A and B are shown apart, each in its own frame.
Chain A
Amino acid sequence: MQTVAVIDYGMGNLHSAAKALEHVVPAGMKVQVTSDEKVIHSADRVVLPGVGAIRDCMAEIKRLGVDELVKDVVKSKPLMGICVGMQVLLEHSEENGGVDCIGLLPGHVSYFGRDLYEGDEHLKVPHMGWSRVKQSEHTLWSGIDDESRFYFVHSFYAQCPRRELVAGTCRYGVQLDAALTRDNLFAVQFHPEKSAKAGLQLLGNFLRWQP
Chain B
Amino acid sequence: MGLAKRIIPCLDVDNGRVVKGVQFVDIRDAGDPVEVARRYDEQGADEITFLDITASSDDRETTVHTVEAIASEVFIPLTVGGGIRTVDDIRTMLNAGADKVSINTAAVFNPEFVREAAEKFGSQCIVVAIDAKKVSQPGEDDRWEIFTHGGRKPTGLDAVDWAKKMEELGAGEILLTSMDQDGVKNGYDLGVTRAISEAVVIPVIASGGAGNLDHLVDGIVKGKADAVLAASIFHFGQHTIPEAKAYMADRGVEMRL
Are B226 and A51 neighbours in the complex by a CB distance under 8 Å? no
- Count how many chain B residues have C-beta atoms less than 8 Å from C-beta atoms of the other chain: 34
Are A129 and B227 neighbours in the complex by a CB distance under 8 Å? yes
Any A CB within 8 A of the CB of B253 = no
Are B3 and A15 neighbours in the complex by a CB distance under 8 Å? no
Any B CB within 8 A of the CB of A114 = yes
Any A CB within 8 A of the CB of B124 = yes
Assembled-state Cα–Cα distance A64/B226 (Å): 39
Smallest Cβ-Cβ distance to A51: which chain B residue: B122
Partner of A52, one of B44, B122, B256: B122
Any B CB within 8 A of the CB of A62 = no
Collect the chain B residues with CB atoms within 8 Å of residue A19's CB: 71-72, 75, 97
Are A151 and B121 neighbours in the complex by a CB distance under 8 Å? no
Are B201 and A130 neighbours in the complex by a CB distance under 8 Å? no
Q: A126-B172, A149-B256 are in contact. Are A171 and B2 (CB under 8 A)?
A: yes
Collect the chain A residues with CB atoms within 8 Å of residue B203's CB: 124, 126, 128-129
Are A200 and B124 neighbours in the complex by a CB distance under 8 Å? no
Are B201 and A172 neighbours in the complex by a CB distance under 8 Å? no
Any B CB within 8 A of the CB of A75 = no
* Majority-rule SS of B interface residues: loop
Are B95 and A15 neighbours in the complex by a CB distance under 8 Å? yes
Any A CB within 8 A of the CB of B1 = yes
Assembled-state Cα–Cα distance A191/B121 (Å): 17
Are A125 and B202 neighbours in the complex by a CB distance under 8 Å? yes
Collect the chain A residues with CB atoms within 8 Å of residue B12's CB: none
Are B4 and A129 neighbours in the complex by a CB distance under 8 Å? yes
- Beta-carbon contacts of A49-88 to B below 8 Å, as 1s and 0s? 0011100000000000000000000000000000000000
Assembled-state Cα–Cα distance A24/B125 (Å): 25
B residues 1-40 near A (Cβ < 8 Å) are 1-6
Any B CB within 8 A of the CB of A127 = yes
Are B226 and A194 neighbours in the complex by a CB distance under 8 Å? no
Partner of B97, one of A15, A53, A125, A127: A15
Any B CB within 8 A of the CB of A164 = no
Any A CB within 8 A of the CB of B173 = yes
Assembled-state Cα–Cα distance A12/B126 (Å): 12
Kindly name the residue among A13, A15, A191, A195 whose own CB sees the greatest number of chain B CB atoms within 10 A.
A13
Collect the chain A residues with CB atoms within 8 Å of residue B96's CB: 15
Are A194 and B256 neighbours in the complex by a CB distance under 8 Å? no
Closest 4 A/B residue pairs (Cβ): A52-B122, A130-B256, A130-B4, A153-B124
Binding site for B on A (CB under 8 A): 12-13, 15-16, 19-20, 22-23, 51-53, 114, 118, 121-132, 147, 149, 151, 153-155, 171-172, 191, 193-196, 199-200
Given contacts A15-B71, A16-B97, A129-B4, 12 further A-B contacts (CB under 8 A): A118-B2, A124-B202, A126-B172, A129-B3, A129-B5, A129-B46, A129-B203, A130-B46, A130-B256, A151-B77, A172-B2, A194-B75
